[in-house]
Amino acid sequence: MNKSFGDYYLPTRFQYVILRQYFNKINAVFNMPQGEPVFTKTNIRLRSIINNLKPNSNLILLSIYMLPENKIIRNKIITKMIKKKIKLHLVFENTLINKAKDFKKINEILKLNKFSQ
Amino acid sequence: MKNSEVNFFIKNGFFKIKLQHNNFLYLKNKIKDTLKKQLNFKKINLEKFHKRIRIEELNDLRLKVFKKINDDNKFKQNTYESAKKFIHETVGNELCSSDINLSIQLPGDKSSLLEMHSDFFSGESLFQINLWIPFVNVKKTQSMFIINPADSLKILKKIKYDKNLNFDDINKKFKKQMRWINLKLGEAILFSPNCLHGNVVNCEKNTRWSINIRYKNIYSPCGKERNEKKIGSFYTLLNPKAVTQFNLKYDFDEITN
Protein backbone atom coordinates (compact mmCIF):
# COMPACT_ATOMS: atom_id res chain seq x y z
CA MET A 1 0.00 0.00 0.00
CA ASN A 2 1.56 3.26 -1.15
CA LYS A 3 -0.29 5.50 1.23
CA SER A 4 -0.58 5.78 4.94
CA PHE A 5 -2.44 3.08 6.84
CA GLY A 6 -3.54 3.99 10.36
CA ASP A 7 -0.72 6.02 11.84
CA TYR A 8 1.87 4.36 9.63
CA TYR A 9 3.51 5.12 6.35
CA LEU A 10 6.20 2.84 5.01
CA PRO A 11 7.71 2.93 1.50
CA THR A 12 6.66 -0.19 -0.37
CA ARG A 13 10.18 -1.52 -0.80
CA PHE A 14 10.46 -1.73 3.00
CA GLN A 15 6.99 -3.24 3.26
CA TYR A 16 8.34 -5.98 0.97
CA VAL A 17 11.39 -6.48 3.22
CA ILE A 18 9.16 -7.05 6.24
CA LEU A 19 6.73 -9.24 4.32
CA ARG A 20 9.55 -11.32 2.83
CA GLN A 21 10.97 -11.88 6.31
CA TYR A 22 7.55 -12.86 7.65
CA PHE A 23 7.00 -15.28 4.76
CA ASN A 24 10.37 -16.88 5.54
CA LYS A 25 9.34 -17.21 9.18
CA ILE A 26 6.23 -19.17 8.28
CA ASN A 27 7.99 -21.07 5.46
CA ALA A 28 5.82 -19.60 2.73
CA VAL A 29 6.90 -18.53 -0.76
CA PHE A 30 6.90 -14.77 -1.19
CA ASN A 31 5.63 -13.36 -4.48
CA MET A 32 5.74 -9.61 -4.93
CA PRO A 33 2.21 -8.37 -4.28
CA GLN A 34 0.57 -5.61 -6.30
CA GLY A 35 -0.60 -2.66 -4.29
CA GLU A 36 -3.96 -1.09 -3.71
CA PRO A 37 -4.63 1.79 -6.13
CA VAL A 38 -4.02 4.98 -4.13
CA PHE A 39 -6.90 6.90 -5.66
CA THR A 40 -9.77 4.73 -4.47
CA LYS A 41 -11.21 3.60 -1.17
CA THR A 42 -12.99 0.57 -2.61
CA ASN A 43 -10.16 -1.83 -1.63
CA ILE A 44 -10.40 -3.48 -5.01
CA ARG A 45 -7.03 -5.22 -4.72
CA LEU A 46 -7.72 -6.73 -1.31
CA ARG A 47 -11.20 -7.83 -2.39
CA SER A 48 -9.77 -9.40 -5.56
CA ILE A 49 -7.09 -11.24 -3.59
CA ILE A 50 -9.61 -12.61 -1.07
CA ASN A 51 -11.93 -13.69 -3.89
CA ASN A 52 -9.11 -15.75 -5.37
CA LEU A 53 -7.90 -17.29 -2.13
CA LYS A 54 -8.58 -20.98 -1.69
CA PRO A 55 -10.28 -22.14 1.53
CA ASN A 56 -7.91 -22.45 4.51
CA SER A 57 -5.31 -20.13 2.92
CA ASN A 58 -3.22 -17.58 4.76
CA LEU A 59 -3.57 -13.86 4.18
CA ILE A 60 -0.76 -11.67 5.46
CA LEU A 61 -1.29 -7.97 6.05
CA LEU A 62 1.28 -5.63 7.54
CA SER A 63 -1.32 -4.14 9.83
CA ILE A 64 -4.97 -4.23 10.84
CA TYR A 65 -5.12 -0.71 9.33
CA MET A 66 -4.72 -2.19 5.86
CA LEU A 67 -8.27 -3.45 6.17
CA PRO A 68 -10.96 -1.21 4.62
CA GLU A 69 -11.89 1.95 6.49
CA ASN A 70 -15.40 1.57 5.10
CA LYS A 71 -17.29 -0.65 7.54
CA ILE A 72 -19.62 -2.13 4.91
CA ILE A 73 -16.72 -3.23 2.71
CA ARG A 74 -14.79 -4.41 5.76
CA ASN A 75 -17.65 -6.54 7.02
CA LYS A 76 -18.16 -8.10 3.60
CA ILE A 77 -14.48 -9.02 3.52
CA ILE A 78 -14.54 -10.39 7.04
CA THR A 79 -17.59 -12.52 6.27
CA LYS A 80 -15.87 -13.92 3.20
CA MET A 81 -12.71 -14.71 5.17
CA ILE A 82 -14.71 -16.48 7.87
CA LYS A 83 -16.58 -18.47 5.22
CA LYS A 84 -13.34 -19.51 3.51
CA LYS A 85 -11.63 -20.20 6.86
CA ILE A 86 -8.80 -17.82 5.97
CA LYS A 87 -6.03 -17.39 8.51
CA LEU A 88 -5.34 -13.67 8.75
CA HIS A 89 -1.84 -12.64 9.87
CA LEU A 90 -1.41 -9.06 11.07
CA VAL A 91 2.33 -8.48 11.25
CA PHE A 92 2.54 -5.20 13.18
CA GLU A 93 -0.09 -6.35 15.67
CA ASN A 94 1.69 -9.70 15.98
CA THR A 95 -1.67 -11.43 15.68
CA LEU A 96 -3.00 -14.47 13.90
CA ILE A 97 -6.76 -14.53 13.47
CA ASN A 98 -8.32 -17.82 12.51
CA LYS A 99 -11.59 -18.03 14.44
CA ALA A 100 -14.89 -16.34 13.65
CA LYS A 101 -15.06 -14.69 17.08
CA ASP A 102 -11.57 -13.24 16.64
CA PHE A 103 -12.50 -11.80 13.27
CA LYS A 104 -15.30 -9.94 15.00
CA LYS A 105 -12.76 -8.38 17.35
CA ILE A 106 -11.23 -6.54 14.39
CA ASN A 107 -14.07 -4.04 14.38
CA GLU A 108 -13.77 -3.61 18.14
CA ILE A 109 -10.06 -2.85 17.95
CA LEU A 110 -10.54 -0.33 15.16
CA LYS A 111 -13.41 1.31 17.01
CA LEU A 112 -11.54 1.50 20.31
CA ASN A 113 -8.61 3.16 18.62
CA LYS A 114 -10.94 5.73 17.10
CA PHE A 115 -12.29 6.51 20.58
CA SER A 116 -8.83 7.19 21.91
CA GLN A 117 -7.73 9.47 19.07
CA MET B 1 8.26 13.31 -33.69
CA LYS B 2 5.87 14.06 -36.53
CA ASN B 3 2.40 15.33 -35.73
CA SER B 4 0.96 12.01 -36.86
CA GLU B 5 3.19 10.20 -34.34
CA VAL B 6 2.15 12.54 -31.53
CA ASN B 7 -1.50 11.97 -32.46
CA PHE B 8 -0.96 8.20 -32.50
CA PHE B 9 0.53 8.41 -29.00
CA ILE B 10 -2.32 10.55 -27.69
CA LYS B 11 -4.90 8.17 -29.12
CA ASN B 12 -3.23 4.89 -28.20
CA GLY B 13 -1.01 5.72 -25.23
CA PHE B 14 2.16 4.32 -26.81
CA PHE B 15 4.35 4.40 -29.88
CA LYS B 16 6.90 2.04 -31.31
CA ILE B 17 10.51 3.09 -31.76
CA LYS B 18 13.64 1.63 -33.26
CA LEU B 19 16.43 1.66 -30.69
CA GLN B 20 19.96 2.88 -31.42
CA HIS B 21 21.67 -0.32 -32.47
CA ASN B 22 24.95 -0.02 -30.54
CA ASN B 23 23.22 0.94 -27.31
CA PHE B 24 20.74 -1.90 -27.64
CA LEU B 25 23.57 -4.34 -28.32
CA TYR B 26 25.36 -3.20 -25.15
CA LEU B 27 22.23 -3.85 -23.08
CA LYS B 28 21.59 -7.27 -24.55
CA ASN B 29 25.21 -8.38 -24.19
CA LYS B 30 25.38 -7.10 -20.63
CA ILE B 31 22.36 -9.19 -19.67
CA LYS B 32 23.76 -12.25 -21.39
CA ASP B 33 27.23 -11.80 -19.83
CA THR B 34 25.70 -11.35 -16.38
CA LEU B 35 23.71 -14.54 -16.83
CA LYS B 36 26.78 -16.46 -18.00
CA LYS B 37 28.65 -15.41 -14.87
CA GLN B 38 25.76 -16.04 -12.49
CA LEU B 39 24.92 -19.46 -13.87
CA ASN B 40 28.31 -20.54 -15.12
CA PHE B 41 26.88 -21.16 -18.59
CA LYS B 42 29.02 -20.89 -21.70
CA LYS B 43 26.16 -19.86 -23.99
CA ILE B 44 22.90 -18.10 -23.31
CA ASN B 45 19.86 -18.39 -25.53
CA LEU B 46 17.38 -15.90 -24.10
CA GLU B 47 14.39 -17.24 -26.03
CA LYS B 48 14.97 -20.81 -24.93
CA PHE B 49 16.05 -19.91 -21.42
CA HIS B 50 13.08 -21.82 -19.91
CA LYS B 51 14.77 -25.05 -20.95
CA ARG B 52 17.67 -24.37 -18.59
CA ILE B 53 16.07 -22.99 -15.44
CA ARG B 54 13.29 -23.92 -13.06
CA ILE B 55 10.53 -21.45 -12.16
CA GLU B 56 11.49 -21.69 -8.46
CA GLU B 57 14.99 -20.41 -9.27
CA LEU B 58 13.79 -17.54 -11.40
CA ASN B 59 13.10 -14.76 -8.91
CA ASP B 60 16.47 -15.08 -7.17
CA LEU B 61 18.21 -14.92 -10.52
CA ARG B 62 16.07 -11.98 -11.62
CA LEU B 63 16.98 -10.06 -8.48
CA LYS B 64 20.69 -10.74 -8.99
CA VAL B 65 20.61 -9.54 -12.60
CA PHE B 66 18.44 -6.58 -11.58
CA LYS B 67 21.09 -5.53 -9.08
CA LYS B 68 23.94 -5.92 -11.57
CA ILE B 69 22.30 -3.83 -14.28
CA ASN B 70 21.23 -1.14 -11.85
CA ASP B 71 24.72 -0.94 -10.34
CA ASP B 72 26.15 -0.42 -13.81
CA ASN B 73 25.97 3.27 -14.81
CA LYS B 74 26.84 2.34 -18.37
CA PHE B 75 23.75 0.17 -18.55
CA LYS B 76 21.57 3.06 -17.41
CA GLN B 77 23.29 5.44 -19.83
CA ASN B 78 22.95 3.06 -22.78
CA THR B 79 19.27 2.53 -21.99
CA TYR B 80 18.76 6.28 -22.10
CA GLU B 81 20.90 6.77 -25.22
CA SER B 82 19.06 3.98 -27.04
CA ALA B 83 15.85 6.06 -27.09
CA LYS B 84 17.10 9.54 -26.15
CA LYS B 85 15.57 11.43 -29.06
CA PHE B 86 12.10 10.04 -28.38
CA ILE B 87 12.32 10.51 -24.62
CA HIS B 88 13.21 14.17 -25.15
CA GLU B 89 10.28 14.55 -27.52
CA THR B 90 7.84 13.17 -24.95
CA VAL B 91 8.93 14.44 -21.52
CA GLY B 92 11.66 16.98 -22.23
CA ASN B 93 15.41 16.83 -21.88
CA GLU B 94 16.06 17.58 -18.20
CA LEU B 95 15.26 14.28 -16.65
CA CYS B 96 15.14 11.98 -13.72
CA SER B 97 14.62 8.25 -14.05
CA SER B 98 13.57 5.25 -11.99
CA ASP B 99 15.45 2.02 -11.43
CA ILE B 100 15.49 -0.33 -14.39
CA ASN B 101 13.04 -3.15 -13.82
CA LEU B 102 13.79 -6.53 -15.30
CA SER B 103 11.08 -8.97 -16.27
CA ILE B 104 11.58 -12.60 -17.23
CA GLN B 105 8.51 -14.52 -18.28
CA LEU B 106 8.95 -18.21 -18.87
CA PRO B 107 6.18 -19.94 -20.84
CA GLY B 108 3.46 -21.08 -18.44
CA ASP B 109 4.90 -19.28 -15.41
CA LYS B 110 2.13 -17.92 -13.20
CA SER B 111 4.48 -16.48 -10.59
CA SER B 112 5.82 -13.53 -12.62
CA LEU B 113 2.58 -11.85 -13.54
CA LEU B 114 2.00 -8.16 -13.49
CA GLU B 115 -1.76 -7.78 -13.51
CA MET B 116 -3.54 -4.93 -15.21
CA HIS B 117 -2.52 -1.71 -13.51
CA SER B 118 -1.55 1.88 -14.03
CA ASP B 119 1.67 3.19 -12.47
CA PHE B 120 -0.22 5.87 -10.59
CA PHE B 121 -1.93 3.07 -8.63
CA SER B 122 1.13 3.32 -6.42
CA GLY B 123 1.15 7.11 -6.38
CA GLU B 124 3.64 7.69 -9.20
CA SER B 125 3.61 10.82 -11.34
CA LEU B 126 1.10 11.24 -14.16
CA PHE B 127 3.80 12.98 -16.16
CA GLN B 128 6.24 10.18 -16.83
CA ILE B 129 6.93 7.97 -19.81
CA ASN B 130 7.85 4.30 -19.63
CA LEU B 131 10.45 2.84 -21.97
CA TRP B 132 9.81 -0.89 -22.47
CA ILE B 133 12.54 -2.85 -24.22
CA PRO B 134 12.24 -6.58 -24.96
CA PHE B 135 15.39 -8.59 -25.70
CA VAL B 136 13.63 -11.19 -27.83
CA ASN B 137 11.00 -10.88 -30.55
CA VAL B 138 7.66 -10.59 -28.75
CA LYS B 139 4.08 -11.18 -29.75
CA LYS B 140 0.74 -11.95 -28.14
CA THR B 141 0.88 -13.22 -24.56
CA GLN B 142 4.67 -13.29 -24.55
CA SER B 143 4.51 -9.51 -24.74
CA MET B 144 2.69 -6.85 -22.70
CA PHE B 145 -0.71 -5.34 -23.28
CA ILE B 146 -1.88 -1.77 -23.07
CA ILE B 147 -5.38 -0.30 -23.05
CA ASN B 148 -5.88 3.00 -24.85
CA PRO B 149 -6.36 6.14 -22.72
CA ALA B 150 -10.09 6.54 -23.38
CA ASP B 151 -10.89 2.94 -22.43
CA SER B 152 -8.43 3.07 -19.52
CA LEU B 153 -10.31 6.02 -18.08
CA LYS B 154 -13.63 4.20 -18.34
CA ILE B 155 -12.18 1.26 -16.41
CA LEU B 156 -10.39 3.50 -13.90
CA LYS B 157 -13.65 5.25 -13.07
CA LYS B 158 -15.19 1.87 -12.30
CA ILE B 159 -12.16 0.97 -10.15
CA LYS B 160 -12.51 4.25 -8.29
CA TYR B 161 -16.20 4.08 -7.50
CA ASP B 162 -17.50 0.51 -7.80
CA LYS B 163 -17.36 -1.19 -4.42
CA ASN B 164 -18.29 -4.62 -5.80
CA LEU B 165 -16.03 -4.87 -8.84
CA ASN B 166 -12.81 -6.90 -8.60
CA PHE B 167 -9.84 -7.36 -10.91
CA ASP B 168 -11.04 -10.73 -12.21
CA ASP B 169 -14.27 -9.10 -13.42
CA ILE B 170 -12.28 -6.33 -15.08
CA ASN B 171 -9.88 -8.73 -16.80
CA LYS B 172 -12.77 -10.72 -18.24
CA LYS B 173 -14.93 -7.76 -19.17
CA PHE B 174 -12.24 -5.72 -20.87
CA LYS B 175 -10.19 -8.47 -22.53
CA LYS B 176 -11.03 -7.12 -25.97
CA GLN B 177 -9.61 -3.73 -25.11
CA MET B 178 -6.16 -5.20 -24.36
CA ARG B 179 -3.83 -4.40 -27.22
CA TRP B 180 -0.87 -6.78 -27.44
CA ILE B 181 2.40 -5.20 -28.50
CA ASN B 182 4.27 -7.10 -31.20
CA LEU B 183 7.91 -6.08 -31.49
CA LYS B 184 11.00 -7.30 -33.28
CA LEU B 185 14.43 -7.42 -31.72
CA GLY B 186 15.81 -3.87 -31.51
CA GLU B 187 12.38 -2.29 -31.27
CA ALA B 188 10.76 -0.90 -28.13
CA ILE B 189 7.80 1.17 -27.07
CA LEU B 190 7.45 4.36 -25.12
CA PHE B 191 4.11 4.41 -23.36
CA SER B 192 2.20 6.42 -20.84
CA PRO B 193 1.94 4.20 -17.75
CA ASN B 194 -1.24 6.11 -16.89
CA CYS B 195 -2.88 3.74 -19.36
CA LEU B 196 -3.78 0.37 -17.94
CA HIS B 197 -1.20 -2.23 -18.89
CA GLY B 198 0.22 -5.53 -17.72
CA ASN B 199 0.77 -9.09 -18.79
CA VAL B 200 -0.82 -12.53 -18.53
CA VAL B 201 0.65 -16.04 -18.43
CA ASN B 202 3.03 -16.41 -21.36
CA CYS B 203 1.27 -19.00 -23.56
CA GLU B 204 3.82 -18.76 -26.40
CA LYS B 205 6.81 -21.01 -26.96
CA ASN B 206 9.59 -18.63 -25.96
CA THR B 207 10.75 -16.83 -22.84
CA ARG B 208 10.31 -13.09 -22.69
CA TRP B 209 13.12 -10.86 -21.40
CA SER B 210 12.42 -7.19 -21.04
CA ILE B 211 13.38 -4.11 -19.09
CA ASN B 212 11.38 -1.02 -18.32
CA ILE B 213 12.34 2.34 -16.95
CA ARG B 214 10.41 5.52 -16.22
CA TYR B 215 11.60 8.94 -17.33
CA LYS B 216 10.16 12.14 -15.92
CA ASN B 217 11.02 15.76 -16.38
CA ILE B 218 12.70 16.99 -13.19
CA TYR B 219 10.16 19.83 -12.93
CA SER B 220 6.96 17.97 -13.77
CA PRO B 221 4.68 17.17 -10.84
CA CYS B 222 5.11 14.03 -8.75
CA GLY B 223 2.05 12.13 -7.54
CA LYS B 224 -0.26 13.80 -5.04
CA GLU B 225 0.17 11.12 -2.39
CA ARG B 226 2.69 11.81 0.34
CA ASN B 227 4.91 8.86 -0.42
CA GLU B 228 8.41 7.97 -1.55
CA LYS B 229 7.79 8.31 -5.30
CA LYS B 230 9.97 11.40 -5.39
CA ILE B 231 13.45 12.40 -6.55
CA GLY B 232 16.00 10.78 -4.25
CA SER B 233 13.90 7.83 -3.18
CA PHE B 234 12.32 6.70 -6.45
CA TYR B 235 13.78 8.85 -9.24
CA THR B 236 17.46 9.58 -9.72
CA LEU B 237 18.66 12.79 -11.37
CA LEU B 238 19.82 11.96 -14.85
CA ASN B 239 21.00 15.14 -16.52
CA PRO B 240 20.40 18.35 -14.57
CA LYS B 241 21.04 21.35 -16.79
CA ALA B 242 23.27 24.35 -16.00
CA VAL B 243 20.57 26.49 -14.38
CA THR B 244 19.46 23.63 -12.14
CA GLN B 245 23.07 22.97 -11.14
CA PHE B 246 23.56 26.69 -10.52
CA ASN B 247 20.55 26.87 -8.22
CA LEU B 248 21.58 23.71 -6.44
CA LYS B 249 24.91 25.37 -5.66
CA TYR B 250 23.51 28.75 -4.54
CA ASP B 251 20.52 29.08 -2.18
CA PHE B 252 18.61 31.79 -4.03
CA ASP B 253 15.47 29.75 -3.37
CA GLU B 254 15.81 30.42 0.37
CA ILE B 255 15.65 34.16 -0.25
CA THR B 256 12.48 33.95 -2.31
CA ASN B 257 10.69 31.50 0.02
Per-residue model confidence (pLDDT) at position B211: 98
Q: Is the pLDDT of residue A73 over 80?
A: yes
Please state the domain extents for chain B. Answer: 3-256
% pLDDT > 70, chain A = 99
Mean pLDDT computed over A56-80: 93
Burial class (CB in 10 A: 0-12, 13-18, 19+), A86: buried
Q: A42 contacts in B (CB within 8 Å)? A: 159-163, 165
**Cα-based distances in Å from B42 to B37, B50, B69, B105:** 9, 16, 20, 22
Window 57-116 of A: residues touching B by CB (8 A cutoff) are 70, 72-73
Write b or e for each residue in B100-111: b if 16 or more Cβ atoms lie within 10 A of its Cβ, otherwise e. bbbbbbbbebee
Question: How much is the mean pLDDT over chain B?
Answer: 94
Task: Please give the average per-residue pLDDT across A47-53, as a whole number.
Answer: 94
Q: State phi, psi for B147 to the nearest 5 degrees.
A: -110, 135
Q: Which residues of A touch B117 (CB under 8 A)?
A: 34, 37
Which whole-number Å values give the CA distances from A85 to A80, A89, A92, A110, B111, in the listed order? 8, 13, 22, 22, 24
Give the pLDDT confidence of B68-91 residue by residue, as tens digits: 999 999 999 999 999 999 999 999
Architecture of domain B3-256: Sandwich (2.60)
Give the pLDDT of residue A117. Answer: 65
The pTM assigned to this predicted structure is 0.89
Does the predicted interface ipTM exceed a cut of 0.85? no
* Helix (H) / strand (E) containing A72: helix A71-83
A51: nearest CB among B123, B166, B225: B166
Dist. CA B209–CA B129, nearest whole Å? 20
Sorted by where each starts, the structural domains of chain A and their CATH numbers stand as: 12-115 (3.40.50)
The share of chain B scoring above pLDDT 70, in percent, equals: 100
